[in-house]
Amino acid sequence: MTASTVPEVPPGAPEPVGRPAAVFALLSEYASALDKVRASGRTVGFVPTMGALHAGHQALVRRAASECDVVAVSIFVNPLQFGDPDDLERYPRLPDEDVQAAGEAGATFVLMPEVSEMFPSFPAPVPTAVTVSGLADRWEGAARPGHFSGVATVVAKLFAVTGRCRAYFGEKDYQQLAVVRRMAADLSFPVEVVGCTTVRDEDGLALSSRNVRLGAEERRAAAVLPQALAAGARAIAEGEYRPSMVEALMSQVVGEEPAVELDYAVVVDGNDLAPAISLRPDRPLRLLIAAHVGGVRLIDNIDPAAGTRGIPPPRRSVTYSATPINPTQPVMVHRSRPGPAPADDPTKGK
């Protein structure tokens, strides 16, 4: 159904099943439809995506549907946040499947604009861009120059046309979430940014649209990333107080998987993403990791205070000495022989 045949969505209507009520290509028609929703006294939930929807995206839509009267999902592969043209070209595009997946999860409206609708001057440089200093400078910002300016610019435009709403983002892209929160606050958008827990596969790997580009062996190797994060979180829980020791441990865990090329494994302040100075329990922390697996860049993170839920125990036991006698000695990681695969977690999915 196109925007020209947008049906009225009566208050209290059941969530759509199968397909959304309307799919929009034009920003003006999308904005008008949401204005009518709010004028009728209903609330709007918004889930911005780049398509290739998976269970993680659907979890965001379902949460939005549980908390808001109407849910809008945007599907737009944003060229501004890709520094590598080949990476942009390879990004999966599944428009029909995405519309179906969004509707099944509870989306009422889907916005699927062309690049020319979002950025008429593209591929020429966009005349107006949004930059978030500080938060966007480190980690992914340093590895992918211009990436977060592209993210902030497209999200600002989407917030402008969506209007007052609650916007749902996954915590898997934690730095992106922090950048969007700062941008929304600094520019006074009438948007409440809601972070949602990362959805993981059975082996702990965070769900990502990029995972489909991994071969079978690469997919197996990629599971070392959540294992490294879990090792860091356990070290902190056991009393390690030096960020450098935790970072060294995470790096060592990844280093045992030759198919994975580590970019960074760091402990940062959970608010400003600056390198953590200490691991005091009264300070919010995040463990961030990024690596290339078979040419595919993957990122992940966890809150060490929240534990390692969703990441299964390692197939090989890890023993970590949290307080070495010599403060300068390397972190010691002792591994036993491979053991049996961990049993299924009976609480998974609850």
Q: 229, 309 in Cβ contact below 8 A?
A: no
Cβ-based neighbour number of residue 72 at 10 Å: 31
Helix residue ranges per DSSP H, the chain: 27-39, 55-67, 85-90, 95-105, 115-118, 140-143, 147-162, 174-186, 216-222, 224-237, 243-255
**Half-sphere exposure (Cβ direction) of 275: Cα atoms closer than 13 Å:** 11
Active site residue 54: no
Bridge partners, 22 (sequence order): 109
Classify the phi-psi angles of 163: left when phi > 0, otherwise alpha if psi is within -120 to 50, otherwise beta.
left
Sign of the CA dihedral with 244 first, then 247, 253, and 259 last: negative
Query: What is the C-alpha separation between 332 and 240, in angstroms, rounded?
Result: 12
Q: Provide CB contacts within 8 A for 336, sequence distance 6+.
A: 316, 317
- 338 preceded by cis ω (within 30°)? no
Query: What is the C-alpha separation between 271 and 244, in angstroms, rounded?
Result: 19
Q: What are phi and psi of 322, to 5 degrees?
A: -75, -20
List the catalytic residue out of 54, 57, 147, 292: 57
Q: Which of 44, 18, 42 is nearest to 31 (CA)?
A: 44
Q: Which of 302, 231, 303, 217 is nearest to 260 (CA)?
A: 217
Amino acid identity of 129?
A
Catalytic residues: 57
